[in-house]
């Protein structure tokens, strides 16, 4: 999508800049979206916290993490209790492997909005990266209570459970993930099938030789 496709003619009305930026962002035209958001910011139009936050999302999509974090911070300076801003900054920090900072941001987002399923899912990913598998499992279970159709959470929880040697539960989660079409949606069907086979072998060995899985 180009600016012309989005309706951003040179004489576009100033109050359209944010809407045009959103349309370009949705279309994956991140550089042009940023330009629209910056026009809105320069003119001081609309909900500036939302504009800064959307600009951060576009900057993050381009891998411009420092600029993205700065834009989120601008949003939070305007609206300090904006859960989406903490979630976005957490994702930026997770991408930079700043795991404790990411966890803190996701936790703040959840504190503001306890039923924020995406923040639970994101924090679980950060916990998993820290090898805090029980905490990851707990967050994924909360996310699934909020949204039982969240297919990705079954796959992530299955892996977190496998890391804790909870083979029956892990296999159940991953099997459901495949049956529900998650492997096709996320293009990892064959990979997950192979992982399931490994888990079934490990479960058998665990039952025959309980000490094997404990590294003894």
Q: pLDDT tens for residues 145-175? A: 999 999 999 999 999 999 999 999 999 999 9
pLDDT of residue 135: 99
CA neighbor of 120 nearest in space, from 107, 132, 129, 130: 107
Read off the pLDDT band of 75 (50, 70, 90): very high
pTM of the model: 0.87
Mean of pLDDT values over 136-142: 98
pLDDT of 210: 62
131: left (phi over 0), alpha (psi -120 to 50) or beta: left
| Residue 27 phi, psi (nearest 5) | -85, -5
Q: Which helix (H) or strand (E) holds 174?
A: helix 167-179
Overall average pLDDT of the 58-86 stretch: 98
132-170 burial, b if ≥16 CB within 10 A, otherwise e?
bbebbbbbbebbbebeeebbbbbbbbbbbbbeeebbeeb
- Averaged pLDDT for residues 9-26: 78
Please give the share of the chain, as a percent, with pLDDT higher than 90: 87
pLDDT in tens, 77-115: 999 999 999 999 999 999 999 999 999 999 999 999 999
Instruction: Give the confidence band of 16 by pLDDT, cuts at 50, 70, 90.
Output: confident
Average pLDDT, integer, range 65-71: 98
Asked whether the predicted pLDDT for residue 123 surpasses 90, the reply is yes
pLDDT at 194: 96
Name every residue whose Cβ is closer than 8 Å to that of residue 43 and which is 6 or more positions away in sequence: 14, 17
**Of the candidates 22, 43, 42, which has an alpha carbon nearest to the alpha carbon of residue 33?**
22
Mean pLDDT, the chain, as a whole number? 92
Residues in the chain: 216
The whole-number average pLDDT for the span 51-78 is 98
Select from 109, 178, 179 the least CA-distant residue to 139: 109
Q: What is the pLDDT of residue 106?
A: 99
- Collect all residues with Cβ–Cβ distance below 8 Å to 72 and sequence separation of at least 6: 52, 53, 56, 85, 88, 89, 92
Span 41-66, mean pLDDT?
95
pLDDT at 13 over 80: no
Closest to 196 measured CA to CA, from 168, 105, 36? 168
What is the Cα Rg of the chain in Å? 21
What pLDDT was estimated at residue 15?
63
Per-residue model confidence (pLDDT) at position 64? 97
* Phi, psi angle pair for 75, to nearest 5°: -60, -45
């Amino acid at each position: 999508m180009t600016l012309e496709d989005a309706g951003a003619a040179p004489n576009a009305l100033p109050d359209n800049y944010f809407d045009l930026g959103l349309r370009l962002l949705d279309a994956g035209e991140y550089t042009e979206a940023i330009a629209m958001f910056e026009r809105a910011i320069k003119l001081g139009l609309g909900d500036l916290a939302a504009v800064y936050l959307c600009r951060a999302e576009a900057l993050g999509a381009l891998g411009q993490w420092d600029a993205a974090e700065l834009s989120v911070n601008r949003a939070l300076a305007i609206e300090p209790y904006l859960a989406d801003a903490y979630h976005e900054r957490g994702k930026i920090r997770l991408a930079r492997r700043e795991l404790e900072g990411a966890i803190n941001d996701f936790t703040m987002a959840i504190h503001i909005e306890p039923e924020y399923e995406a923040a639970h899912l994101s924090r679980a990913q950060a916990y998993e990266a820290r090898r805090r598998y029980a905490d990851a499992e707990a967050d994924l279970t909360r996310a699934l209570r909020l949204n039982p159709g969240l297919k990705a959470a079954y796959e992530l929880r299955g892996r977190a459970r496998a890391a804790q040697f909870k083979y029956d539960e892990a296999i159940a989660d991953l099997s459901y993930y495949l049956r529900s079409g998650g492997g096709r949606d996320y293009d990892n069907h064959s990979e997950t099938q192979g992982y399931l086979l490994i888990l079934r072998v490990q479960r058998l060995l665990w039952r025959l030789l309980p000490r094997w899985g404990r590294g003894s």
